[in-house]
Structure 1
Amino acid sequence: MKDKRFLIAGSILSADLLNLQRDVEEALNVGVDVIHFDVMDYHFVPNMTFGPAFLKAMHHKFPNAVFDVHLMIDPVTPEIVDDYIDAGASWISFHPEACIHTHRMLTYIRSKNVKAGIALNPSTAPELLEYLLDDLDFVLVMTVNPGFGGQKTIPSTLNKVAKIKAQIQKANKDIFIEVDGGVKDSNIKEIESYGAEVFVVGSAFFGADDKKVAIDNLHSALNA
């Protein structure tokens, strides 16, 4: 699954877009475990961000980094997935609303030796995972509506995390839960208590004046 009990994923959506190489390098140097790469198409969500050419350039600069690619696009196709895999994706998640054959796409991603995940919007029911647990590496729970950084966590989404955790444990599967949306040092412990293990942090990290202090505060809160 992963080497550490908890992982911090830095979302470059909240980084300085004119100095992304600098910000990613600093993030990795101070202890961010994963670089979270939000892909938006101005169709599935009302924003547009990064394409595979950009990921390829970033992977070239940081070949040992774990790149977590969250596809907020419609449709999700094997050709698009291949573009991101070839560019250096380590994990890929997508939304079931954007893929007709969800099971087939999960097995396709895993066949490429990339971790495959399902991303759930705040209003997407977790029950659909029941039929996918055999082919999942992780579940990305959106605790905000996707599209923009800096939003506050929607409280009701945390109960969804707990339900998914119970599903995974009942099925005895090695699947981790990632949470994205409004994560900061003041609520990360509460989110963890519902069953999350990977925490996507955007403005709470990249917006901090001292990023080493920011990551230390996140770890301290988790270990409290």
Structure 2
Amino acid sequence: MKYSQSICAINSYTSLETIDELVKNGMKHIHVDFMDSFYVPNFGVSFEAAEFLIKRYPNVNFDAHLMVKNPLRLIERLVQVGFETIFLPAKEINKEEFDKISQNYPNVFFGIMLEANNDPNDFRDIVLNSKKILLMTINKIGGTGQKLDENLFKKVEEIKKINPEILIYSDGGLRQENTDSFYNNKIDVAVGGSIIWSFETIKDFSEWWNKKYA
């Protein structure tokens, strides 16, 4: 199981120092939230900040997590910025639209974000043709500090029944005391935020994670 750091969960004044240390200690994934204050009552990262980070860490896999209305309007800009993985809200896109962007941008991995109230089977055709999917493991999106809802892991089996080869990213509720739940439920990439501050140093966190899950 790989670890991915959520940028929005890091203090903006110390973010580069924190990410530098995580990457130095082996982190290969970074999760970037884009929010519009309408879909969820928050704002996320700017395009300019995301482009800066992608250029700064060329060996890291960046994913864009869209929590916005009409997400298709952002695709071209996100591709220009350099994202190769983009997750869209499941209820904001249909199969025809998904197929079109997949054809237009063949070098980009597109997937859907499944919220707590989304049934994977309602989006079967998209899941079947995706390489990656983002499973929310909290009940309310758009905030930090939300508690894990372990019942949402039941969707992993449903997703794998549809597409056994798909990579599952989780987002939300990751804590030092529950990481085994993510691993045991076959999450491929676990997005975390405040978990890194449970350790005295970033190096301590990285060594702990890599020893358990690398």
What is the alpha-carbon distance in structure 2 between the residues aligned to residue 175 and residue 122 of structure 1?
19
User: Is 1:136 equivalent to 2:118 in the alignment?
Assistant: no
> Bigger shift: 88-97 or 189-198?
189-198
User: Quick one: which amino acid aligns to residue 57 of structure 1?
Assistant: F
Which of 147, 168, 173 matches 1:182?
A: 173
Residue of structure 2 in register with 1:86 after alignment: 80
User: Is 1:219 equivalent to 2:210 in the alignment?
Assistant: yes
User: What value does the CA root-mean-square deviation take over the aligned residues?
Assistant: 1.9
User: Aligned to 1:132, what secondary structure does the other structure show?
Assistant: helix
Contact 2:176 2:198 survives alignment (8 Å): no
Alignment of 1:125-204 (within 5 A): 125-144=119-138, 145-169=140-164, 174-204=165-195
Contact 2:3 2:29 survives alignment (8 Å): yes
Which of 84, 87, 97 matches 1:104?
A: 97
What is the alpha-carbon distance in structure 1 between the residues aligned to residue 118 and residue 26 of structure 2?
32
> Bigger shift: 205-214 or 63-72?
205-214
Residue 142 of structure 1: CA displacement? 0.3
User: Aligned to 2:52, what secondary structure does the other structure show?
Assistant: helix
Residue of structure 1 in register with 2:10 after alignment: 15
User: Quick one: which amino acid aligns to residue 80 of structure 1?
Assistant: L
Contact 1:93 1:116 survives alignment (8 Å): yes
Contact 1:141 1:178 survives alignment (8 Å): yes
Residue 110 of structure 1: CA displacement? 5.9
TM-score under structure 2 length normalisation:
0.90
User: Is 1:121 equivalent to 2:115 in the alignment?
Assistant: yes
Contact 1:106 1:117 survives alignment (8 Å): no
Quote the sequence identity (%).
Answer: 23
User: Quick one: which amino acid aligns to residue 15 of structure 2?
Assistant: L
What is the alpha-carbon distance in structure 2 between the residues aligned to residue 191 and residue 49 of structure 1?
25
The gaps in structure 1 that reach 5 residues or longer are 1-5
What is the alpha-carbon distance in structure 2 between the residues aligned to residue 116 and residue 131 of structure 1?
13
What is the alpha-carbon distance in structure 2 between the residues aligned to residue 106 and residue 24 of structure 1?
34
User: Is 1:42 equivalent to 2:42 in the alignment?
Assistant: no
Runs of 4+ in 1 over 4 A off after TM superposition: none
Q: How many residues are paired up?
A: 212
The gaps in structure 2 that reach 5 residues or longer are none
Question: Over residues 163-188 of structure 1, what are the superposed CA-to-partner deviations in whole Å (9 max), with x where a residue is unaligned?
Answer: 2123323xxxx311111111133222
Residue 107 of structure 1: CA displacement? 4.5
What is the alpha-carbon distance in structure 1 between the residues aligned to residue 96 and residue 122 of structure 2?
11
User: Quick one: which amino acid aligns to residue 167 of structure 2?
Assistant: F
Residue 109 of structure 1: CA displacement? 4.2
User: Quick one: which amino acid aligns to residue 207 of structure 2?
Assistant: D
